[in-house]
Amino acid sequence: MPVYSPQEIEKKWQAHWKTHQTFKAYNHSSKPKYYVLDMFPYPSGAGLHVGHPLGYIASDIVARYQRLQGRNVLHPMGFDSFGLPAEQYAIQTGQHPAVTTEQNIETYIRQLQQLGFSYDWSREVRTSDPQYYKWTQWIFLQLFNSWYNLDTDRAEHIRTLQEKFAASGSAGVRAAGEAEDRHDFSAGQWQLMGEKQKLAAILPYRLAYQQDTYVNWCAGLGTVLSNDEVKDGLSERGGYPVERRLMPQWNLRITAYADRLLQGLNTLDWPDAVKEMQRNWIGKSIGAEVTFPVQGHAGADIKVYTTRVDTIYGATFLVLAPEHELVDTLTAPGQRAAVDEYIAATKRRSERDRMSDVKHVSGVFTGAYAANPVDGAPVPIWLADYVLAGYGTGAVMAVPSGDQRDYLFAQHFDLPIPAISDAQKDLDQQADPTKEGRYINSGIVNGMGYKEATATLIAFLEEKALGKGKVNFRLRDAIFGRQRYWGEPIPVYYKDGTAYGVAEADLPLVLPEIDEYKPTEHGEPPLGRATDWKYRGQHEFELSTMPGWAGSSWYYLRYMDPENADRFVGEEAEKYWGQVDLYMGGAEHATGHLLYSRFWYLFLKDLGLVTGTEPFQKLINQGMILGVSEKILRLGHVLPASTSEAATNETKAILDAPFTKLKFSSMELPLELPTKNVFVSQDISDRFRSTPGVSEGTLTALHVDISQVDSNKLDLNKYSASHPDLKNAVFVCAGGYWQNGSFTKFPFGGSDVFLTASDVEKMSKSKYNVVNPDVLIDKFGADALRLYEMFLGPLEQFKPWNTNGITGVGSFLKKFWRLFHPEDGALAVTDEPATPAELKTLHRVIQKVAHDIDKFSFNTSVSTFMIAVNELTALGTHKRAVLEPLTLLLSPFAPHLAEELWAELGHAPGSISEAAYPEFREEFLVEANVTYPVAINGKVRDQRQFAATATAAEIETAIRESDFLTRFGEGKAVKKVVVVPGRMVNVVV
C-alpha cells in the first residue's frame, strides 16, 4: 500500500482492535495502574458533532501515552441513557424510550469507534440497563437505611439510631438535619410506639427522606424540573410554563456532608474555577439564628439566619419568601388580595430568575409586624420574591443601610434607612456594609466595634432564648424524585401510608410497561398507568423515578468491575483501581454531577465500601469548539408600538403592503418587493435606507445551513430547494436580485453574489452550524480529525471551528507517510545509523511531547511533529533509528497511521500499545560547536566557531593567536579579553 489511504488503514486497525480486544484492561497486573475517564455522554438522536470529541481525543492521547509509559490503563466508555429527551420523544411518537435510546447508542458507538478511541468496550455500562440500575437502587436503599451521626461525623446504619432511641430516647442524639422536623421522646415512649410510629420518628433522620418541598413544576411536561432545566420561567425543553409548587418529594441529605465536601476540595488537583464554584455553592458562613416573634400571633415566630447580627438594630423590616409557611397565618385581611396576587405571580418565576434579577424591585406588605428581639421595636413583615423558601429559613432580616438589595427595596417602598455605624458613608446614595467604626443607634452595643458587638448580641440572644450562634451552609438537600417514566424506579413501597424499602433480594425493581408516557388523568406520574404493579402483589410502589444524576453519580465505580453480580464493585477491583487518576469533562457539571458524585463517594466511604478519600483526583475541563454560523438578513416592516385599535389597523395595512420605494444608497430600487420573504445580501445591508413617508424596513438575521454556504456565498439553489415555502422569495444583491432561479440586473451594475454574515456561536443543531465528523472522516480520515482538533488551540480554551484548516493536518500526515514511502513508493526504511542532526530532531520531539502531554498542551505537540517532519524531509531521512521511535511518539495522536507503519517496520500487528516510550538522551541536543560574535570595545567585527566544551581561557588564547587583532585591532595594545561562555567575546583595546 504505497499510497497513504487513511480510510482503508483506519477501518483495518479498528477491526483489529475490536477483534483482539487490544485495549482490554485487567484488574490484576504487575504494572502500575492509571485510570483515565471521560464524562460519559447522553446519547441524543443527533449523534456527535465535531465539538463533542474534543475531550475524548485528549483523554485518549493520555491513555495511549500512559500505556507507552508502562502502565495498566483503564479507559472505559458508557452511556448516561436515562433522560427527559427520550421520554418526550416517546410521548410524541408512542415509541418506547428504550428503543430510541438503543438506536442512539448504536450511532454513538459507531462514531466513537471510527475515531479510534482506545476504550475497553468490554466494560461498557448503560444507566438504563436493569443490571446497572439494580445497584443504583441498592445505593439508594443504603441511604434510606442510614443517618448521619454528628458525634462520629459519618453516616451509620439506622439500627445504631434505633439502639440509641431504645437506650435513652431522642435526648442527646446529635444528627444532621433540622431539629424542628423531629419530636422528642423518652426510651419508654419509644418502646411503646408501634411500627408505624417508630418509622415516622425515624424518617426525619434518614439520609433519604420524604418531605414537602418547593419544586419547579412543569404541567406541560408533567414533571418536576431542576433549576438547570428552567429558563425565564419556561422549561428549557418545549418552552412550557414552570411554577414553584409545594409537593411531597424524596430528598437526599447532602447537607450532612457540606463541611467535608468543602474541606475535600483542598486535596484535589482541579481547576481553581471549579473548586471556587463548589465552595460558593456549598456556601459556608458563620453567623447567628435569630427569632422575631410575630405580634398578635402567639407562637408564630420568624427565624432568620444572618452573618451580620451586629446590624440587628438597623433591621427596619423583615422579608419572607412568598412560599413561607407563615404567610397565610399572618397576612392581614386588608392585604389578602394583594398578597395572593403577588404569590401567584411568583409561582411563574424560577428560582434562578428570582435570584439573578437585581434590576427589578417587587414586594408586598403582609399587614403584620414582628418584634425586634433586642429592643421590642415593631418590624413590618413584607414578602419579596428575591427571598427563597428553600434557602436558610426563608426569611431575611433586612438592614437597608448595610445591604444594597435591602437598600433598593427600602427606597422603592419608602421604608426607613437608619445609620448604625459612625463609619457608614453616603447612605443617601447606597448601602455601606462596612464593619469599621463604632455602632450608633444600636442600644446595648452603642460605641462597640464589630467583634465585641457580635459577641455581645449573640450572648444576649442566647440568654433570652431568642437566638444562637450558628454555622450555616447555602447548600440544600438534593431533590431526588422526578415525575417521569424514563428513569430508575425508586425502590420504595407503601404500607398503610408508610414508606418501606424494597428488600435487596428483590432488586432490580424494573420499569413496568405502560400504555402512554405522560401523567395520568388524575395528575399522577406516568408510572401510575402501570397495571398490577405492586410490591409482592400487595403494596403500591413509589410512582416517582430517580433524577438523571443518580446513575451518573457512581458509574466510574462500576467500570472497575462491570460484570460483578454480587456487588456494585468488587472489593479487590475497587482497591486496585482506587481513584480516577484523570477525569475529563465540561465545567458546566461543577455544581451538579461533580458535587453529587463526591457526596455519594463520601457516603460509600462511611459504609466502608470504597477505600479512597475522593473519587476524582485530577480534573481537566476541555473548552468548547464553537461553530461558525452563517446568517442571512430578512427584510421586514417596522410596525407601530401601540396596541390601540387604530394602530392594529395600521399594522394590518403595513403587513399587506409591499416595499415600494426603498432606496439602495441614493438610488431607488427599480423593483417592487413583495410583502414577505425579501432577503438582503450582507455586503449591502448598511446601504439600505428607508424613504420617509413610505413603508419602513428592518433587517432580521436568520440562520442558514452551513452546508449551503461556501466562503460566505449562499448557494441560492440549495437554499430555495430546502425551503419550498420561499418559492417567490427575492434575494437582493449589490447588482440585482434573484427570484425563482433567475437573476435580474440593476442598471447601475454590481455583483450578483448573495453573501451571508458569519458569527461564532455554540455549535448547535438549532443554529444549523453543526459539522458532522462522519463527513470529515470520510474525506480526511480520523487521524487528521484527531490531530486537527488538538491543533486548534489550548485544550481548556474555547475555539472556533474552521473546516478548511483540516487540509493542512492532512498534508502533514501524507508527509509523515512519505518518510517511509518516498514519492508514495515502496517502503524505503534503512538500517543506516542516524546523523547528529537527525538525532537532534528526534530527541527534541521525545522531550517536547512527553512534557506537553504531562501538561495537557496537545496543540504544541502537534506543532512539534510538523516541524520535525519538515526537518527530516529536508534531511532526506528514511532511517529506522529515527522513524521507529518517531512512530511511537505519534501513535497517541494518530493511532491508525502509527499502527500501520509499526507493522510495516516488522513488529507484530497491533503491538504498538505494548511498546515503551522512547528514552530521551540530552546529549543529542548538545551542540558540538558554538558560534561566538567577537567584538572590539563592544562593536562586533567578526564571528568565530569554537568547540562547545572550550573554556574561556582556551577561547582567549585562540583569539590572541588568530589574525583577528591584525585585521581589526588597528595596532592598539590589548588591555583584556572578556569571554562570556556560550555568548560572545569582547576584546578591549
711: Cβ–Cβ under 8 A, 6 or more apart, which residues? none
Do 664 and 655 form a contact (C-beta atoms < 8 A)? Answer: no
CA neighbours closer than 13 Å in the CB half-sphere of residue 336: 5
Q: How far apart are CA 812 and CA 286, in angstroms?
A: 59
Per-residue buried b or exposed e for 249-278, using 16+ beta carbons within 10 Å of the residue's own CB: bbbbbbbbbbebbbebbeebebeeebbebb
Q: Confirm if 49 and 626 have CB atoms less than 8 A apart.
A: no
Cell 561562555, residue located? 981
The C-alpha cell 556560550 sits at 982
Residues in contact with 210: Cβ distance below 8 Å, sequence separation at least 6, in sequence order: 203, 248, 249, 250, 251, 499
149 beta partners: 154, 175
**CB-based contacts of 871, cutoff 8 Å, min separation 6:** 837, 841
Nearest to 573 by CA among 26, 42, 986: 26
CA dist., res. 894 & res. 805, Å (int): 17
Which residues lie across from 946 on neighbouring strands?
930
Tell me the torsion sign for CA atoms 244, 246, 250, 255.
positive
User: What sign does the CA torsion over 796, 797, 803, 807 have?
Assistant: negative
> Which three-class secondary structure state does DSSP give residue 424?
coil
Query: Is residue 765 annotated as involved in ligand binding?
Result: yes
CA distance 889 to 886: 5
- Residue 885 half-sphere exposure toward CB, CA atoms < 13 A: 21
> ∠ CA(717), CA(718), CA(724), 5° rounding?
85
The radius of gyration computed from the CA coordinates of the chain, to the nearest angstrom, equals 36
Report the candidate in 612, 598, 587 with the shortest Cα–Cα distance to residue 272.
587
> What cell numbers appear for 686 in the block?
448598511
Contact 617, 579 (CB under 8 A): yes
* Buried/exposed 318-339: b ≥16 CB within 10 Å, e otherwise: bbbbbbbebbeebbeeebeeeb
How far, in Å, CA of 72 to CA of 348, rounded?
54
Q: Which residues contact 858 (CB under 8 A, 6 or more apart)?
A: 58, 61, 790, 795, 852, 893
Question: Phi and psi for 955 in degrees, rounded to 5?
Answer: -65, -40
In angstroms, the CA 260 to CA 253 distance is 13
CA distance between the termini of the chain: 68
SS (H, E, C) 477-524: CEECCECCCCCCECCEEEECCEEEECCHHHCCCCCCCCCCCCCCCCCC
Query: Residues in the chain, how many?
Result: 989
Interatomic CA distance for residues 34 and 64, integer angstroms: 11
Helices 773-780 & 806-820 angle (0-180, nearest 10): 30
Per the listing, cell 413496568 goes with 512
Chain centre distance of CA 712:
32
Nearest to 715 by CA among 726, 704, 725, 702: 704
Give binding residues for ATP as ranges.
765
Give binding residues as ranges.
765
